[in-house]
């Protein structure tokens, strides 16, 4: 269980400054109560047992990192005694001390201390039920419905030094017990856990899972950032990874381990440059492993990493959002998918506005938000609660989702890009209508009858179509009701004034709102057939004249020119053809030959 100790009083003699929380920083001790003077402590005068006392006095867990200059250098004045704690004392100034022979402290030797917390009740020290110790008593943290999100859990994981937040859930008990309630909005501002606690009672306890050995830092969401690997569990040391020691298969393992989708961007220095120390092995993942440290690795010959080569990784968001139960994909109850499960989002205490809903509409590629409404339904389904402020801040929807046991109040959204795009086409009574390239448009003959048709796929009954026309010198609109999801605009006589651009705008009133969707633009040109008719007439006249001239010419030549084929020779010499009347007989022909 994730834990953090809280004392019933605020220490007035020790403090940690310049740290990331109230449980980390450079150690300072109050040397004079009257002048409120604070002094730094030199690392040589402070040991592990002294650190245990300080962490306990501050209401934190056991010390995990004790190292000089972690949180800044020595600040004057300096504490001039050596602490000799046994480790069981309740306050540092209760410990014995002896005079130190140091009047100065070397640079980099001011005590830097990080007190950690312990985790149990889960599969690892970074997963389980969150607990806090207050007034010497351990209590679980209340899972206050709708109050926690992965974004808040990420702050807890950071304080636990456990990497990124992976999942958030609840553990239900049959009986109520004393619990601590942590205000998630307080944590998200960067405040330490112990400053955000109220006492309460509940039977529902917060259960969270953090990544144990990998994390992404300085990213824009929980699924992006510079990759760091925990190289030492005892000292909680995190190391950057050099780009040359990491590939796409390694990235797949990291994204899966963090509960994110597939890797989409793998590029050095996307989220900051190399931070020391550096990981000194090359990962050799097959891509199927569940954790990066389960992968094989080999020693790397790199002891440094070039600027701009620290692994920056962006994993795709694993979740999906959808609107269901509406008349189209851009209207209905908002649902979020997490870990393979679709759950509706609760409207109860959501505080959603059109501004909040706009983020969902953009993600769905559905335009802008039109309405946010509540839908009542008796249901025992598990749900999500999404804080409107978190969504509006630009965080991923996954980061803003908190589990909710059940609710009868569902969040319904309607987005503007509700209607399908209508189609536009043209037809004509004359065969000469031509559709060349879509960019060149359509052509109809001048004087012909043509029709422009608007239609849309069946989606809603009713509505109307507006035919919008624009040309170089005019523009006008004509509207007809939609009949069977279409409308036909008839033009009896095509004229040059009809030449221009046309589009169909489908208009509909539904869900108490007006919606519209526009077709592609159709370009129409009017073709004058008179030049074609004149050319065809001239061609026919020329052909006719040529035939007349040829006829009279042949008549005038009396058949002497090859205008008409002479048939004498074939008739006389074609064997088997009877002799014509008055012609020579076969016998006469033979005599003549003699």
- Residue-wise pLDDT for 157-205, tens only, equals 877 778 888 877 777 777 777 888 887 777 777 776 667 777 888 777 8
Query: 165-174 burial string, b = 16+ CB within 10 Å, else e?
Result: bbebbbeeee
Q: Is the pLDDT reported for residue 424 higher than 90?
A: yes
Span of 77-81, 248-252, 571-575 with lowest mean pLDDT = 571-575
pTM tops 0.85, yes or no: no
Mean pLDDT in residue range 60-80: 74
Selecting from 3.40.1360.10, 3.10.250.10, 2.60.120.260, 3.30.9.10, what CATH number does the domain 3-115 have? 3.10.250.10
Second-level CATH architecture of 423-527: Sandwich (2.60)
331-338 and 224-232 beta bridge pairing: unpaired
Q: Is the dihedral of CA 43, 46, 51, 53 positive or negative?
A: negative
How far apart are the C-alpha atoms of 15 and 27, rounded to whole Å?
A: 6
Contacts of 408 (CB under 8 A, 6+ apart): 376, 377, 378, 379
pLDDT, tens digit, for every residue of 490-535? 999 999 899 999 999 999 887 677 788 889 999 999 887 777 778 8
Q: Give the 3-state secondary structure of residue 471.
A: coil
Second-level CATH architecture of 321-403: Roll (3.10)
Encoding tokens for residue 397?
A: 């929807």
At residue 452, the pLDDT reads 95
Strands (E), 135-217: 137-140, 165-182, 197-210, 214-217
% of the chain surpassing 90 pLDDT: 12
63-68 and 111-115 beta bridge pairing: antiparallel
* Contact assessment for residue 65 and residue 113, using Cβ atoms and an 8 Å cutoff: yes
Mean pLDDT score across all residues of the chain: 78
Same fold across 3-115 and 321-403: yes
Per-residue CA distances from 409 to 127, 169, 172, 360 (Å):
31, 20, 22, 19
Q: Is the pLDDT reported for residue 250 higher than 60?
A: yes
Selecting from 3.30.70.141, 3.40.50.720, 3.40.1190.20, 3.10.250.10, what CATH number does the domain 214-315 have? 3.10.250.10
Second-level CATH architecture of 127-210: Roll (3.10)
Domain boundaries, the chain: 3-115, 127-210, 214-315, 321-403, 423-527, 538-579
* Contact assessment for residue 115 and residue 55, using Cβ atoms and an 8 Å cutoff: yes
* Contact assessment for residue 64 and residue 19, using Cβ atoms and an 8 Å cutoff: no
């Amino acid at each position: 269980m994730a834990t953090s100790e809280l004392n019933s009083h605020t220490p007035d003699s020790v403090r940690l400054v310049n740290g990331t929380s109230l449980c980390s920083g450079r150690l300072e001790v109050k040397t004079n109560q009257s002048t409120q003077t604070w002094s730094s402590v030199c690392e040589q005068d402070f040991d592990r047992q002294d650190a245990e006392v300080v962490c306990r006095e501050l209401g934190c867990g056991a010390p995990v990192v004790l190292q000089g200059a972690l949180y800044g250098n020595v600040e004057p004045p300096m504490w001039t005694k050596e602490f000799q704690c046994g480790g069981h004392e309740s306050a540092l100034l209760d410990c014995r001390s002896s005079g130190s022979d140091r009047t100065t402290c070397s640079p980099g030797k001011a005590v830097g201390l990080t007190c950690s917390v312990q985790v149990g009740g889960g599969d690892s020290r970074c997963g389980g039920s969150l607990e806090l110790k207050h007034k010497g008593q351990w209590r679980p943290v209340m899972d206050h419905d709708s109050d926690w999100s992965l974004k808040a859990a990420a702050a807890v994981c950071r304080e636990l030094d456990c990497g990124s937040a992976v999942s958030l859930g609840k553990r239900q008990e049959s009986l109520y017990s004393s619990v601590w309630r942590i205000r998630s909005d307080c944590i998200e501002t960067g405040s330490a856990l112990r400053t955000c606690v109220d006492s309460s009672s509940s039977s529902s306890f917060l259960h969270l899972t953090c990544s144990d050995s990998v994390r992404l830092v300085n990213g824009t969401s929980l699924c992006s950032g510079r990759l760091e690997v925990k190289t030492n569990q005892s000292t909680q040391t995190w190391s950057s990874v050099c780009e040359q020691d990491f590939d796409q298969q390694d990235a797949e393992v990291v994204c899966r381990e963090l509960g994110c989708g597939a890797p989409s961007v793998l590029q050095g220095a996307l989220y900051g440059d190399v931070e020391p120390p550096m990981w000194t092995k090359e990962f050799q993942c097959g891509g199927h492993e569940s954790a990066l440290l389960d992968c094989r690795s080999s020693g790397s010959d790199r002891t440094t990493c070039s600027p701009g080569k620290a692994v920056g990784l962006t994993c795709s968001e694993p979740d999906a959002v959808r609107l269901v139960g509406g008349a189209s994909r851009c209207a209905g109850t908002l649902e979020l998918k997490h870990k393979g499960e679709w759950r509706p989002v609760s409207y109860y205490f959501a505080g959603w506005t059109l501004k909040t809903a706009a983020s969902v509409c953009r993600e769905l590629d559905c335009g802008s938000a039109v309405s946010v409404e509540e839908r009542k339904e008796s249901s025992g389904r598990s749900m999500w609660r999404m804080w409107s402020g978190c969504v509006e801040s630009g965080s991923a929807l996954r980061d803003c989702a908190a589990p909710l046991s059940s609710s009868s109040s569902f969040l319904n959204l309607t987005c503007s890009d509700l209607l399908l795009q209508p189609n536009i086409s043209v037809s004509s009574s004359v065969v000469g209508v031509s559709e060349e390239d879509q960019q060149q448009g359509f052509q109809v003959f001048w004087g012909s009858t043509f029709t422009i048709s608007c239609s849309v796929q069946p989606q809603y009954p009713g509505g109307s179509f507006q035919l919008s026309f624009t040309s170089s010198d005019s523009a006008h609109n004509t509207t007809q009701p939609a009949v069977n999801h279409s409308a036909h605009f008839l033009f009896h006589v095509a004229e040059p004034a009809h030449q221009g651009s046309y589009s169909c705008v489908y208009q509909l009133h539904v869900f108490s709102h007006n919606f519209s969707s526009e077709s592609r633009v159709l370009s129409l040109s009017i073709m004058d057939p008179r030049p074609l008719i004149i050319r065809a007439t001239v061609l026919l006249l020329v052909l006719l004249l040529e035939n007349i001239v040829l006829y009279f010419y042949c008549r005038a030549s009396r058949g002497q020119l090859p205008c008409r084929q002479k048939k004498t020779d074939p008739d006389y010499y074609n064997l088997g053809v009877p002799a014509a009347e008055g012609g020579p007989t076969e016998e006469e022909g033979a005599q003549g030959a003699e």
